Amino acid sequence: MSIKSFQPPQRILMGPGPSDVSARVLAAMARPTIGHLDPAFVSMMDEMKILLKYAFKTDNELTMPVSAPGSAGMETCFVNLVEPGNKVIVCQNGVFGGRMKENVERCGGTAVMVQDDWGRAVDPQKLEDALKANPDARIVAFVHAETSTGAISDARTLVEIAHKHNCLAIVDAVTSLGGSPLKVDEWKIDAIYSGTQKCLSSTPGLSPVTFSENAMEKIKNRKTKVQSWFMDLNLVMGYWGGATKRAYHHTAPINALYGLHEALVILQEEGIESSWARHHKNHLALRAGLEAMGLTFIVPEKERLPQLNAIGIPEGVDEAAVRNILLNDYQLEIGAGLGAMAGKVWRIGLMGHASNQRNILLCLTALDDALGRVKAPIKRGVAIDAANKLFTA
């Protein structure tokens, strides 16, 4: 055997996640591993909770990172809140709403699906109608930022409708946290999960979550045990909870948590509102460049997610060939379509640390070159000027 150390290539990540991780975060992760009950580590955990509350804009006591990726944050919300026999209204407008249905059913619940077109926001009226038709529903679930299509939904309104009908609201904020306005307390969201590898720009593998008091109440009053031992919040809180002495539940991913801590410190330095504004501004610049070339967005303007730009593939273009040119000649990764969107769109991410002027100019230059080489019907040589107008404005 003579296998050598793994040396990944240096890429620029402009897909649907993971996004570029800054040198500061990587350096933090290389610091010495200490015990998960070491007093120094426990104080870092306390800071982590404060930083996450800041990012989520909440005072919820139960705010912490689940020790697994965004999908596990999703599962944590569902296994704790859905009891066998519960009816859950799931709004679906892309891939991730479909996963919510899977979760509900695996918890023994019934999912009532409210379908919207892929590439559109969730329609509040359809949710209202579904709740009227299903007065026994107790939970509403939806995706705030659909990464599969690049559409953002009006979370505040959807939660308001859920509450009007005595339902708790579970929200997927994997791609919105840090990139789009999100106010957990003001919008009264009951349970919400995110990920570290999208707009927080830390490494994949952790899922920040936060639960309201109403959600906690439902979890405490469950008639059945949570089906997952690992994700049972009653047990996890023995380690992450503040009031009691911390006890071993599982070995926390120590160094990954250093990375998230650093990423959240960076977010705090920038300011959450400034981060939202930066994501929006950079989206406008990328958009100007793409549209100047003649490329088009699949999501109507008002429903577009700034950090995930889904654009149609020009007639006759081999979409994989273009992505290969970007990856091989520019070290630049953009995303392919997912699910029903496979082969129909490219997904250009402008998430977290990767959302900056250099990346936008590089991406436009690379697309101009690659699309030229595959003889796509686009306007060449105009994208950079169009984007730069927005940076110098």
Distance separating alpha carbons of residues 30 and 266, to the nearest angstrom: 17
Distance separating alpha carbons of residues 15 and 338, to the nearest angstrom: 12
Nearer to ligand PLP, 93 or 292 (CB): 93
- Give min distance, CB of 129 to ligand PLP, in A: 24
71 binds ligand PLP (CB under 6 A): yes
Show the tokens assigned to 366: 């690379």
Nearer to ligand PLP, 78 or 96 (CB): 96
Tell me the torsion sign for CA atoms 101, 75, 157, 179: negative
- Give min distance, CB of 93 to ligand PLP, in A: 11
Q: Binding string to ligand PLP for residues 207 to 246, with x set by CB under 6 A, is what?
A: ----------------------------------------
Nearer to ligand PLP, 147 or 210 (CB): 147
123 binds ligand PLP (CB under 6 A): no
Q: Binding string to ligand PLP for residues 325 to 364, with x set by CB under 6 A, is what?
A: ----------------------------------------
* Amino acid (one-letter) located at 113: M
Distance separating alpha carbons of residues 306 and 64, to the nearest angstrom: 26
96 binds ligand PLP (CB under 6 A): yes
- Give min distance, CB of 177 to ligand PLP, in A: 10
- Give min distance, CB of 5 to ligand PLP, in A: 26
Of these, 51, 82, 158, 174, which contacts ligand PLP (CB under 6 A)?
174
Nearer to ligand PLP, 86 or 92 (CB): 92
Nearer to ligand PLP, 184 or 370 (CB): 184
Query: With helix as H, strand as E and coil as C, how does the chain read?
Result: CCCCCCCCCCCEEECCCCCCCCHHHHHHHCCCCCCCCCHHHHHHHHHHHHHHHHHHCCCCCEEEEECCCHHHHHHHHHHHHCCCCCEEEEEECCHHHHHHHHHHHHCCCEEEEEECCCCCCCCHHHHHHHHHHCCCCCEEEEECEECCCCEECCHHHHHHHHHHCCCEEEEECCCCCCCCCCCCCCCCCCEEECCCCCCCCCCCCCEEEEECHHHHHHHHCCCCCCCCCCCCHHHHHHHHCCCCCCCCCCCCCHHHHHHHHHHHHHHHHHCHHHHHHHHHHHHHHHHHHHHHHCCCECCCHHHECCCEEEEECCCCCCHHHHHHHHHHHHCEEEEECCHHHCCCEEEEECCHHHCCHHHHHHHHHHHHHHHHHCCCCCCCCCHHHHHHHHHHC
- Give min distance, CB of 77 to ligand PLP, in A: 11
Judged by CB under 6 A, the chain residues 7 through 66 that form the site for ligand PLP are 17
204 binds ligand PLP (CB under 6 A): yes
In the block, residue with structure tokens 């040396």? 7
Q: Beta-carbon neighbour count of residue 327 at 10 Å?
A: 16
Q: Binding string to ligand PLP for residues 137 to 166, with x set by CB under 6 A, is what?
A: ------x---x-------------------
Nearer to ligand PLP, 68 or 383 (CB): 68
Of these, 24, 69, 241, 382, which contacts ligand PLP (CB under 6 A)?
69
**Looking at the DSSP assignment, which residues form a beta bridge with residue 89?**
112, 140
**Looking at the DSSP assignment, which residues form a beta bridge with residue 385?**
none
92 binds ligand PLP (CB under 6 A): no
Of these, 83, 172, 232, 333, which contacts ligand PLP (CB under 6 A)?
172
Nearer to ligand PLP, 150 or 314 (CB): 150
Nearer to ligand PLP, 89 or 145 (CB): 145
- Give min distance, CB of 58 to ligand PLP, in A: 19
Of these, 175, 202, 203, 212, which contacts ligand PLP (CB under 6 A)?
175
Specify the stretch interacting with ligand PLP by CB under 6 A; choose among 70-78, 179-187, 250-258, 339-347.
70-78
In the block, residue with structure tokens 């290539």? 9
Nearer to ligand PLP, 195 or 314 (CB): 195
Q: Which residues bind ligand PLP (CB under 6 A)?
A: 17, 69-71, 74, 96, 143, 147, 172, 174-175, 195, 204
